[in-house]
Chains A and B, each alone.
Chain A
Amino acid sequence: MRGVAALLVAVVVALLLRSTALSALAARGVVLDVLAFATVLWALRYGETWGSSLGFALGLAADLDAAHWLGRHALVLTLIGYAVGRLSHTLVRESSRTHLALFAIATLVHQLWSAAFDIGGIAGVPYLLQRVVLAVVATAPLGTLLVALLRRVGGQPLFSHASIESGPTS
């Protein structure tokens, strides 16, 4: 049950950030993809089961908030959570390069998928592509920096205790 509670807290924190501080930044063109960031972080730490669970919960809540296309974020974040969780068994999870690459790829996939639904709708293709690139450029380095900061503040590795199957057992 601790796992479910932690998952709910992560979902709420990510959504609150997204609907308050980050939405103001996004309107100015600085897109920080907190959904992709949280999903990658969670999947790296707890594996594919919890990665996909957080991705689905986070995506579903974001879909309800956006009022269009239920399931849009949920599907892609579920897949990202699962893929990163699977990769976490073989990758060097404490490496900043790994974080940078995973944040960049996850943001790219999430933003491209989301943008595909907006083509022909509220925004033109050049703008959407520009937005995707900006999101990757902003989210990946900042996410990596934040993880490094968390590790420094915590004084211990963030991912070393994750179990192969479904996360820590304590």
Chain B
Amino acid sequence: MGGFLPPAERRSSVLLGLYAALSLLLLVTGERLPQAWLRGVGAGIFAPLDRIVLTADRMGAAWHENQRLHQRIAELELETTRLESARIENERLRQQLGLMTSRRLTLKPVEVLALSGEPVPASATLSAGHKQGIEMGDAVVTREGLLGRIAEVYPNLSRVILLTDPNAAIACEIESTGVLGVLHFSGTPHPRLVLTDVALADTVRIGQRVVSSGLSRRYPRFLPVGTVRSLERDPSGLTQTIEVTPAAPLSRLRHAFVVPRPHPLEDAP
């Protein structure tokens, strides 16, 4: 290694000064740089390596997952048969009442290559991009529930902003009662998801499911988001804050599905 730099202590001090100055410069002016482009380049370089590292981990888990999935498929086939008849009946009744019919979601399977963000993952790199039909704003889900939405798209990769991103806000409702609120990530007193702006008069119970309400039109309606974990009264006395346990396992992501955004002219409830 000595060949790269002359073995002089002065050189190491100069290098230190250079690195420190560069770091400080980036701290001050970093926001003006095309960070999305730089991250795109980085993601492109690391994606194949991430795949290799994850392959070993996933092969071990695949065997157990396969067994579980066989059982789950059998259960879901029975459930689907029951729900299909209910769906037909529901659509017929909605048509008779003149209400809009719900849109069937199309799912594009993708692999989660890497997670980033501190102290909890706030974004993830996905194995599909513009060439695979992924677009900015598409919702991303796992079989358990909503994960986030696509924020950056590269030719063969994309970056999804998770529910835990501090800037994410999702219009939600309590599934069984229709109580509305906005889901945020909050860092105080500890990192958690909270449903805010819920009127104190609205009755909410621990364990109730929280789903996307579709009011913001960024996410389709009825995507599972989580379950109510605890309730607390806001200082104003008019509203309450609800802590929500996310439905999707944000710390252990392997596969996900991208849900294309509804077309502006489509009837989307």
Say whether A and B bind each other.
yes
Is the CB of A15 closer than 8 A to any CB of chain B? yes
Do the beta carbons of A78 and B12 come within 8 Å of each other?
no
Q: Which residues of B contact A65 (CB under 8 A)?
A: 39, 42, 114, 116
- Interface: B176 (CB within 8 A): no
Bits for B43-54, please: 1 = Cβ < 8 Å to A, else 0: 000100110011
Pair A52/B15 contact, Cβ less than 8 Å: yes
* Residue numbers in A under 8 Å from B187 (CB-CB): 118, 121-124, 127
Interface centre among B31, B42, B114, B119 (most CB of A within 10 A): B119
Task: Say yes or no for B155: interface residue by CB 8 A criterion.
Answer: no
B74 CB-CB contact with A under 8 Å: no
Q: Does B23 contact A (CB under 8 A)?
A: yes
Q: Pick out which of these stretches binds chain B: A21-29, A95-103, A140-148, A151-159.
A: A21-29
- Shortest distance from the beta carbon of A2 to any chain B beta carbon, whole Å: 7
Q: Determine whether the beta carbon of B49 is less than 8 Å from that of A12.
A: yes
Which chain B residue shows the least CB distance to A75? B23
Judged by a CB distance under 8 angstroms, whether A16 is at the interface is: yes
Mark the stretch among B3-11, B63-71, B228-236 that contacts chain A: B3-11
Say whether A71 contacts B23, CB under 8 Å: yes
Contacts of B33 in A (CB 8 A): 70
Which one, B4, B20, B251, contacts A79 given CB within 8 A? B20
Known: A26-B119, A27-B121, A74-B19. 18 other contacts (CB 8 A): A2-B1, A3-B4, A16-B49, A19-B50, A20-B114, A52-B12, A65-B39, A66-B117, A75-B24, A82-B12, A85-B12, A122-B122, A123-B190, A127-B187, A127-B189, A165-B8, A166-B11, A168-B2
- Chain A's interface size range is 35 or more
- Residues of B near A167 (CB, < 8 A) are 1-2
Chain A residue numbers with a CB within 8 Å of B122 are 122
- Chain B hits for A37, CB < 8 A: none
Contact status A78-B8, CB under 8 Å: no
**Measured CA separation A3–B42 after assembly (Å):** 22
